[in-house]
Amino acid sequence: MSLIEIRDVVAGYGGAPILNGVNIAIEQSDIGVIVGPNGAGKSTTLKAVFGLLKVESGAISFAGEDITNSLPDKLVPKGLSFVPQEKNVFTSMSVEENLEMGAFTRNDDFTATLEWVYGMFPPLLEKRHQKAGELSGGQRQMVAMGRALMSQPRLLLLDEPSAGLSPRYVIEIFEQIVKVNKAGVGILMVEQNARQALAFASKGFVLANGQNRFTGTGAELIADPEVARSFLGGEAKR
Amino acid sequence: MNELVFFFNTVLISGVVLGSIYAIGAIGVTLIFGILRFAHFAHGDMMTMGGFIAFLLAMAASAMGIVAPVPTGFVVLPIAMVIAAGIALGLDKVFYAPLRQRGARPVTLLIASIGVTLIIQGLIRLFFGAGNYSFFDTETKQLFKIPVPIEGVTRTINFTMPQLLMVICTVIAVLALHLFLTRSRLGKAMRAMADNADLAQVSGINTKLVVRVTWIIAGALACLAGTMLALDVSLKPDLAFNIVLPIFAAAIVGGLGQSYGAIAGGFLIGFAETLAIFNWAILLRPFKGMVPFELPTQLAIVPTEYKLTVAFVILVVVLLWRPTGIFRGAST
């Protein structure tokens, strides 16, 4: 049984459903990457998992427990965290306060986790008392991920972590995601930089029109000529 | 020099007192706006109601023969604030929470709060009629006269016991709020939710709890501000009409959603009002005969009856300069 299982999920924003039967399953050791064209339902899938929109049919289970339509304040203590694509830091609060907010659901002492997050993202330690709104895009993304890690999740959902970052930072953020995964946190992320992200994905999911089109390891998907032609912007280069 | 002491008494002391009342009221408005994103129009009436609760308790206390070295109004204040906080929670549960649950837009909540205004005012009139009440029918206001140690100054610096206690209460309330917002987990969660409600929800912050705490604080502070206003002047059912406008102006001038902005806005408007209605001719008196023309005897910027306009002039000027307020608050 996988850590998270999304089975035949149909969901949307009230009108016609955006997701028409999405299936995703990954383990805690995995980095799962969801790719696909605009409007395919990539971000919507993450939001459906995190209870931010209503699942009309299908089921989502986490660590064997049904979490379909559970709300975030129930999901976070279970070990699930979400980093939205935009507005993912509290801009008027300091870096450290942002991280503390990630630990809101915890009643125990979280200083060790705080140290761990600072160890994972060293630039944040220097700027701990600076307002998150004053940081660069790359550093903000670190704050956002750090905040989500403060609840000690087993699975981290990331919505386009590289959006709006310069190419140098994109590589850096991807390296950090791999580091977080190596520390024992499962990753399920949506990415526009599909080829780059699939390169380090242990599982890849290509969505189109709210349905799975291809599923495989990251390497398999990159090597698949049809995936490359339709979704990765051309044949794999040698 | 006597004229300067007079200026100090009428402008600075009154300004601090009025500013305190406006600041404490405006904090409530700005907190509710920050968390719930709507202009809580009934805030002025929550203040009036708080004043009446304190008044009833003070009457009960003096009927029971309780005598304290400070005005009874201040003795019963903590109890009145707890009751007012409870009523604020009840108002939210009955009127605002059901609307939020149905996804009502902020303007719907604003209109609901106008309804709440009418309900509270109606209830107060039902029980108290339309008359004026004073905390000081049975006790006297202790007056402090502090001589100025300068040669030739005969006027004293005057202020009353209630005024002194009001300023102390304001300092305590502001300090307590500051510590709550910057040190406590719940206070930080309140700031987080005001900053970015969606992210607060995603972080697992118990947003319903934050909303409840907001009403508790806003209700208690409204009671404090209302009681202070009643202690400074008098208590009447339509107290809110004269107070709700400057308080909203203070909250907006400071930057909606910004607690420190509301404090700054409150004092700014308090001082502006006392400065605007001050008769500046008094300060010119010593120069009588030194200038070749007749000095005016009346020289106020606005007549006392038009005091309310001051808040709006400030509002317009500040918003032209900084469209989201001094502390850069929310623009929606």
The residues with which B144 forms a beta bridge, in sequence order, are B159
pTM confidence score: 0.90
Strands A31-35 and A55-62: unpaired
- B186 shares contact with chain A (CB less than 8 Å): no
User: Mean pLDDT, to the nearest integer, of B134-159?
Assistant: 83
pLDDT at residue number A115: 96
Residue B141 carries which DSSP code? Answer: P
B103 has a chain A CB within 8 A of its CB: no
Asked if A158 and A2 count as a contact pair (C-beta separation under 8 A), the reply is: no
> Which chain A positions have a beta carbon within 8 Å of B202's beta carbon?
50, 52, 72, 82, 84
Range from B35-39, B91-95, B263-267, B306-310 carrying the lowest mean pLDDT: B306-310
Per cent of chain B over pLDDT 70 is: 99
Question: CB distance from A77 to chain B under 8 Å?
Answer: yes
pLDDT of residue A157: 97
Listed in order, strand segments (DSSP E) in chain A are: 4-11, 19-26, 31-35, 55-62, 65-66, 80-83, 155-159, 186-190, 203-208, 211-216
- Residue B332 neighbours by CB distance under 10 Å: 8
Name the helix (H) or strand (E) containing B145.
strand B143-147
Reported confidence tier of residue B304, pLDDT bands at 50, 70, 90: confident
* Alpha carbon distance B67, A38 (integer Å): 74
DSSP for residue A232: S
A233: left (phi over 0), alpha (psi -120 to 50) or beta: left
Q: Is the dihedral angle over the CA atoms B257, B23, A130, A151 positive or is it negative?
A: negative
- CA separation, residue A181 to residues A27, A156, A201, B105, B240 (Å): 11, 9, 11, 41, 58
Query: What's the mean pLDDT in A150-168?
Result: 93
Q: Is A37 on the interface with B (CB under 8 A)?
A: no
B188 and A CB contact within 8 Å: yes
Q: How far is CA B156 from the centre of its chain?
A: 28
Confidence of residue A238 (pLDDT cuts 50, 70, 90): very low
User: In chain A, which residues have their Cβ closer than 8 Å to the Cβ of B188?
Assistant: 93, 97, 100-101
Instruction: Give CA separation, A101 vs A10, A13, A118, B72, B192, in Å.
Output: 32, 28, 15, 42, 8
Mean pLDDT for all residues in chain A? 92
**Is the pLDDT at B140 greater than 80, yes or no?**
no
Distance CA A42, CA A6 (A): 13
Q: In this predicted model, which residue has the larger pLDDT, A25 or A238?
A: A25
| Contact between chains at A91 and B196 (C-beta distance less than 8 A) | yes
| A92: nearest CB among B195, B202, B204 | B195
Q: Please state the rounded mean pLDDT for residues B242-270.
A: 92
Distance, in Å, from the CA atom of B135 to the CA atom of B55, rounded to the nearest integer, reads 7
Nearest residue of chain B to residue A52 (CA atoms): B202
Of A77, A89, A101, the CB nearest to B205: A101
Best mutation site among A49, A50, A67, A73 for testing chain B: the one with the most B CBs within 10 Å?
A: A73
Of A93, A102, A148, the CB nearest to B191: A93
CA–CA gap between residue B284 and residue A84 (Å, rounded): 63
- B332 pLDDT above the threshold of 70: no
DSSP letters along A152-203, please?
Answer: --SEEEEE-TTTT--HHHHHHHHHHHHHHHHTT-EEEEE-SSHHHHHHT-SE
**pLDDT at residue B95, rounded to an integer:** 96
Only one residue has tokens 């206070």, namely B187
Contact B196 A87 (CB under 8 A): yes
pLDDT value at B331 more than 60: no
Q: What ipTM describes this predicted complex?
A: 0.92
- In tens, the pLDDT along A167-219 reads 888 999 999 999 999 999 999 999 988 889 999 999 999 999 999 999 999 88
Q: Report the range of poorest mean pLDDT among A88-102, B134-148, B226-240.
A: B134-148
CATH of A4-87+154-231, one of 3.50.50.60, 3.30.70.600, 3.40.50.300, 3.10.129.10: 3.40.50.300
Banded pLDDT at B77 (limits 50, 70, 90): very high
What residue has token string 């791999």? A178
The span from the CA of A208 to the CA of A107, in Å, is 41
Q: What is the mean pLDDT of chain B?
A: 90
Q: Which sign, positive or negative, has the C-alpha torsion B29, B35, B39, B40?
A: negative
**pLDDT exceeds 50 at position B109:** yes
Residue B153, CA atoms < 13 Å, CB-side half-sphere: 15
Give the pLDDT score at B330: 66
Candidate from A89-103, B142-156, B307-321 with smallest mean pLDDT: B142-156
Residue A217, phi then psi, degrees to nearest 5: -75, 160
Q: Which residues of B touch A86 (CB under 8 A)?
A: none
DSSP-assigned states of every residue in B226-278: HHHHHHHS-B-TTHHHHHHHHHHHHHHHH-TT-HHHHHHHHHHHHHHHHHHHS
Q: How far is CA B57 from the centre of its chain?
A: 21
Q: Give the residue extent of every domain in chain A.
A: 4-87+154-231
CB-nearest to A147 from B189, B191, B203 is B203
B201 vs A92: CB contact, 8 Å cut-off? Answer: no
Residue listed under structure tokens 């007192």: B17
The distance in angstroms from the start CA to the end CA of chain B is 48
On chain B, the residues whose CB falls within 8 A of the CB of A52 are 202
A73-77, A212-216, B289-293: least confidently modelled range: B289-293
Interface check for B204 against chain A (CB to CB < 8 A): the answer is: yes
Has residue A104 got a pLDDT over 60?
Answer: yes
Neighboring chain B residues of A85 at a CB cutoff of 8 Å? none
